[in-house]
Every structure is written in C-alpha cells, then in structure tokens.
Chain A
Amino acid sequence: MQLRNWKIFLDSSVLLAAMGSKTGGSYLVVTTFPCLISTAIAAEVKRHAPKIGLSADQADEWMRKRVSIVSKPSQIEEEKFASVVIDPKDVHVVAAAYFNQVNVLLTLDKKHLLTTKVKKALSPIQVLTPKELLVKL
C-alpha cells in the first residue's frame, strides 16, 4: 500500500506536540496525512491543553478541523492488550490502533508505547515517532 494512503492513529503525545509547536515533526504529519484519534485521546488532549497554552475548547476545535475522531475501544477490546502495557491507562491507545486497523501508531511516549512489547503485539501495525515516519517516506 502507498504510504500516502496509510491510516495513522495518533497518541495524545503527538497531538500535544503538534499543537504546542508548528516546527516539529508531529505538526507536519498531522497537517499532511489523514489521521485518526479516539474520543479518549481527544479527552486527554483537552484535559492537558492548558499545559501548551490552549483552552480545552481551542484544543477541541483544533482537533475537529484536522483529525477524524472515532469511538474509544470497548472494555472487552481493551482487555486483549492488558498484558502488553506497563500502565493500564495506556491500553486504550494500543486497542484503538489495533481495532481501527490502522497502518501506523504514532507516539512520542518512549517509556510506555514505543516498547518492544507493544510493537510486537501490534505487528504488522508500525509503532513510530513522527520523525521516524518522515524518514520512512
């Protein structure tokens, strides 16, 4: 499949970085490719928006203009990946990427998501940083 047709799921870290700076890889990716997030990711981003100088409403508007928002995975779907993550609160990200059949999960969270265990569990879905994706183009 051509890279331009890839379905990309974004973690909150990537969205916050994209909203926080226009000169980073995240902003370039989010404004170039069709990206997907879940309602849980949207809620996390809105909650942390003040930390990047935006209000929750501004963050909401930003996301609605640029990304597609899908439902959060069900509890049953999340349980499938419970053993893969270090922190149970990360499981919704992994499950959403898997059940939305994306090609790439983009994250900047090295400690919790860019791990061998998550990458192995999601394969063939690639777990990358925005910079890594840009290098692959």
Chain B
Amino acid sequence: MQISSITRLSDRGTLTLPKKARQLLGLSKSQTVRIVATANKLTIEPVDVVATSQLRSFSQKQIDGWVEEDQLTSNEKLDAIKKLENLSR
C-alpha cells in the first residue's frame, strides 16, 4: 500500500503528516522519526517502531546457557576487578 499526498510547510518549517500515512505506519504523538534528505528527496522513517515479529525469540535453554557460560571463576573475577581498579586510577 502506498499513500501519496501534497502538503505545505508552515512558516516555522513544520510539516503535518497526512492522517492516512500516520495510520499506515502506526505513528502516534511523540513518535521519533528519522529524516533523511538527499539532493531532491526527503524520506521520513519511523525509527522506534519495533514490531514483535521483528524480534528474536530465545528459548529458556539458550538463556540459561548464556548465564552459565558467562560465569567467572573466583580467579577470573579477582583478575578482572584488579584490572578495572587500575583502569579507574
């Protein structure tokens, strides 16, 4: 589906997006958009719309595996803390 319309900039440079275009993209008040300007084209793209279908799914096993693999031995932890202390000096 494509929506095409002609609109006019206000004195302050603000632009009202047509309702149909907002509805199509699910844009609501305070939505963040990215504006990309090239020589003769302006693209307005929602950037914070994260559809659930775009997100990854992780199993309980995967997450448990990450938590387990991430564990530090006492020596590794001591080593890392010493290095971090040196970095903050």
Contact = CB atoms under 8 A, between A and B. Distances in A.
B24 interface: no
Given A20-B63, A21-B67, A23-B71, A32 B84 contact: yes
Contacts, number: 104
Secondary structure of the B contact surface, majority rule? helix
Given A3-B87, A28-B80, A92-B54, A74 B47 contact: yes
A71 interface: yes
A137 B80 contact: yes
Query: Is the interface on chain B under 10, 10 to 19, 20 to 34, or 35 or more residues?
Result: 20 to 34
Interface residues of A, number: 40
A24 interface: yes
A123 interface: no
Contacts of B71: 21, 23-25
A89 to B, nearest CB: 5
Interface in A19-54: 20-21, 23-26, 28, 32, 39-40, 43-44, 47-48, 51-52
Contacts of A14: 66, 70
**Which of B36, B66, B72, B76 gathers the greatest number of chain A CB atoms within 10 Å?**
B66
Interface of B: 32, 34, 36, 45, 47-48, 50, 52, 54-56, 58, 60, 63, 66-67, 69-72, 76-77, 79-81, 83-84, 87-88
> Which 7 pairs across A and B sit closest by C-beta, in order of nearness?
A24-B70, A137-B83, A71-B47, A134-B80, A108-B66, A17-B70, A20-B67
Contact of B60 (A3, A24, A51, A90): A51
Nearest to A92: B54
A134 B87 contact: no
B77 A23 contact: yes
A4 interface: yes
Nearest to A40: B50
B71 to A, nearest CB: 5
Contacts of A87: 56
B54 A89 contact: yes
